[in-house]
Chain A
């Protein structure tokens, strides 16, 4: 599956270990976090990855694979529990927020050690934030740490107390800290001073060069084959019986580029988990899940949504003569409404996802129960109404049934779609057939994903694109980049210097306001209005939200997948392999 490689996605963040607030004194006073799970120690868990990680450096990682591996190697100060979707203490055991919402004071756990044995203190926190905020490093996380043009200021109060000052109150509050891996100052500072940080912790790094606070540490990396992590003996979590976590002694990632091959490897028990299965393969796995002892789970709608976007960018009319002529249609709200009315979303969910998807009419998916505006209308598909809308807008049809615009030009355009994603190609084929019923002559052009993104974001040489976005968190703030008219992924009209339309101006105000409002109810109200405006003005034609489908061998214990990425490995520190006892599915 192609992943959206932009900042909007970045709050998808790594699988950082979860923790609960509790402390425990031992010979070396160490603030262990205590987890409720129970398991058996030892064992080697094998998971397939679609591609190799590009880097192991948390400051630079942008791709999903790198983030997944980095997540198992590192930990953050405050963590979003993927199951409850709420924050919980991680490396910071507690925190206070000042009444004006602008000052955060975090208490760190004491006695924690990096995987190489060096102690973890406030100096490491200050150092890590200096890296994330350094403009020269272009860390994708930097945007989230700059609030109202002012970077967060970080101050060490004592060895185990850190203060963060924000220019304005921040709506999502401590969710800010999720996914920001804390890094070892003693290992990275020399590289940083010499300006070599961008080269540090690449995939050629030796295990002794790396250290983290996550449940695992690097043991071996064989490019093209596998990446082996071993348990971090200094990890700061224990289970309720005091047994150290993680249970697994090894976590191995093997690289299998093709999803079908991943499924076959899973069926032959070469791997233990399948992080994301498409509906077709899910149906195949279901056939013999019982006899093979596999657990298949449909977690319901996730935070991903598929949509169609028309090019409304301000373009050079000389260079893009044909395209700019077509933009009169794309900028016409009634044209977009007609397109939306013609989309057979239920057929898309049924035919493309075998019914394991939900039709949507707004960008917040049913998986995000906290923020979904359930008052949005769900206009039923109607070709007749769509044709009426076009007629009202002045469009007409010729004798052959082809749709003509106000200048009597036939309405013809192409939809670009990633060639490596079979599902999206099918969605495009259905959309093509739906639009044919309106008399539109639509061509579907499959294209390599990176070439497609390049056209969408850089050259802007496209007419329409069918693709997906994944909300990074169950919070509106990670979507700032999409909705702000100045946002870097304001897909339909990039690089607006000021809002091109009145509704975009209103969305700008609403999104800014929700980000600096602390009261959740007030934020919900603001965000409800954003959803309403998006659904009314259709900058994106929202189509469906696929369910999250995952699978595990039934020998995997504590398998509790979540709809926030990483779906199955978010609790890697608690996963274990059953050697005794009956295998069971959650």
Chain B
């Protein structure tokens, strides 16, 4: 596949993924907290094209679920009723941004029918909706954490590389200290000192920023390397010879050299911070019920009974894989593109 085409596909996939995660209310058929207390652990709803009489339908429909008659665990489809899948349906209100709300969802079925494409959890909440809403927080944590780490890292890296001498020594020795910190334990410690009654989401964001600020060391070292080599290059020396100030040389000649590295690092750091959120929430230290995140959606997988009986609760793990792969490819593509520009 030609690289341009690959890049386009990759980019559109990333955009779509982020759109779905940043505007989950539209793509999710239900609200993440809406409980269907009569339908716990419902398996993924099957889309049918053939009805009970054997007739074909061009447009898919679903049958409602009923608990097994023999009282055993599970559900059977009530084939006497059918609800066609509908696009752009009116449903629960969801927030777009700030005070703007909307009611229209990408797809759904008419009540009292239900469509749970990824099944339901132990409270009968739609797993797909929860994955989409959960992605918003996880991804936000990733982007926020990565931005914090990158901005601090870039600033200190540039200073360190450009001024060298004792500035460099102090910054680099400090970075080594931060690199040596075991981050998981640091996360625990940070969580422990946060007060209880602070809203979980606020606590969480605060804490992601704290962690982001701690993770500046690696980007700083990368940026420092680039700056060290760039400041001795001819264009930088020429600018200096023409009497440019330190700031001018930094801003217009040296800092642009680091863009590529920063972009690649961002593509690597974002999944890393998503993973930090996932780890924390998985251990029950992150965002709490009923707000979903990819980490707390995976909590049921700690349970033997879930692993044995309800495979669809493992789906959030695949969402993670997808996101990680996309970012990994993005970072590779950026690197390749940079290589081409250089040569």
Interface contact B284-A446, CB-CB below 8 Å: yes
Complex Cα spacing A287 to B307, Å: 14
B197→A351 contact, CB < 8 A = no
* CB of B144 to closest CB in A, whole Å: 22
Out of A283, A419, A433, name the residue touching B305 (CB < 8 Å): A283
A432: Cβ under 8 A from any B Cβ: yes
Q: Is B256 an interface residue (CB 8 A)?
A: no
Q: Which residue of B is nearest A446, CB measured?
A: B284
Q: B309 — which chain A residues lie within 8 A by C-beta? A: 283-284
Q: Would you give the 0/1 interface string for A412-423, flagging 1 where the beta carbon is closer than 8 Å to chain B?
A: 001000010010
User: How far, in Å, is A292 (CB) from chain B's closest CB?
Assistant: 14
Let me know if A429 and B37 touch, CB within 8 A.
no
B309 nearest in chain A by CB position: A284
**Chain B proximity of A58: nearest CB distance (Å):** 35
Q: How far is the CA of A419 from the CA of B289 in the complex (A)?
A: 12
> Would you call B197 and A347 a contact (CB within 8 A)?
no
**In the complex, A121 Cα to B16 Cα: how many Å?**
83
Query: Hey, which chain A residues are within 8 Å of B308, CB to CB?
Result: 284, 287
CB distance from B9 to the nearest CB of A (A): 40
In the complex, whether B329 has a CB less than 8 A from a CB of chain A is: no
Quote the shortest CB–CB distance from B97 to chain A (angstroms).
Answer: 17
Q: Mark A446-463, 1 if CB is under 8 A from B, else 0.
A: 110000000000000000
Asked if A425 lies at the interface with its beta carbon under 8 angstroms from chain B, I say yes
The reply to whether A283 and B197 contact each other, CB–CB distance below 8 Å, is no
Q: Is the CB–CB distance between B123 and A351 below 8 Å? A: yes
User: At the interface, yes or no: A331 with Cβ under 8 Å from chain B?
Assistant: no
Asked whether, in the complex, the Cβ of A422 is within 8 Å of the Cβ of B303, the reply is yes
A432 touches B290 (CB 8 A): yes
Q: Is the beta-carbon distance between A433 and B33 smaller than 8 angstroms?
A: yes
CA distance A351 to B37 in the complex (A): 7
Task: Report whether B37 and A281 are in contact in the complex, using a CB–CB cutoff of 8 Å.
Answer: no
A264 touches B284 (CB 8 A): no
Q: Which residue of A lies closest to B37 (CB)?
A: A347
- Mostly, the B contact residues are loop
- Determine if A426 and B33 form an interchain contact, defined as CB atoms under 8 angstroms apart: no
State the Cβ distance, A553 to closest chain B Cβ, in Å. Answer: 18
Q: Which residues of chain A are near B289, meaning CB under 8 Å?
A: 425, 428-429, 432, 444
Contacts of B306 on A, CB cut-off 8 Å?
280
Binding site secondary structure of chain A: helix
**Contact call A443/B73, Cβ cutoff below 8 A:** no
Out of A281, A426, A428, A430, name the residue touching B304 (CB < 8 Å).
Answer: A281
Contact A284 B288 (CB under 8 A): no
Contact B37 A419 (CB under 8 A): no
B40 contact from A351, A432, A433, Cβ within 8 A: A351
Q: Which of A312-348 contact B (CB under 8 A)?
A: 322, 344, 347
Q: Is the CB of A429 within 8 A of B199?
A: no
Establish whether residues A430 and B123, one from each chain, have CB atoms under 8 Å apart when the complex forms: yes
A329: min CB distance to chain B, Å: 15
Partner of A264, one of B123, B197, B304: B304
A463 — nearest CB in chain B belongs to which residue?
A: B197
Among A414, A426, A433, residue most surrounded by chain B Cβ atoms (within 10 Å): A433
Q: How far is A446 from B286 in the complex, measured between Cα atoms in Å?
A: 11
CA distance A554 to B284 in the complex (A): 38
B335 within 8 A of A: no
Q: Does A263 contact B (CB under 8 A)?
A: yes
Whether A281 and B196, one on each chain, are in contact in the complex, defined by CB atoms closer than 8 angstroms, is no
Instruction: State whether B35 touches A433 (Cβ < 8 A).
Output: yes
Query: When the two chains form their complex, are residues B199 and A419 in contact, meaning their CB atoms are under 8 A apart?
Result: no
**B26-57 Cβ-contact flags toward A at 8 Å (1 or 0):** 00000001010100100000000000000000
Q: Does B92 contact A (CB under 8 A)?
A: no
Q: State A110–B123 Cα separation when bound (angstroms).
A: 60
10 contacts between A and B (CB under 8 A): A260-B304, A280-B306, A281-B305, A350-B40, A351-B37, A354-B73, A430-B35, A432-B290, A433-B33, A446-B284
Q: Which residues of B contact A (CB under 8 A)?
A: 33, 35, 37, 40, 73, 122-124, 196-197, 199-200, 284, 288-290, 302-306, 308-309
User: What 9 new A-B contacts, CB under 8 Å, besides A284-B309, A443-B199?
Assistant: A280-B303, A281-B304, A281-B305, A351-B123, A425-B289, A433-B123, A443-B200, A445-B288, A447-B196
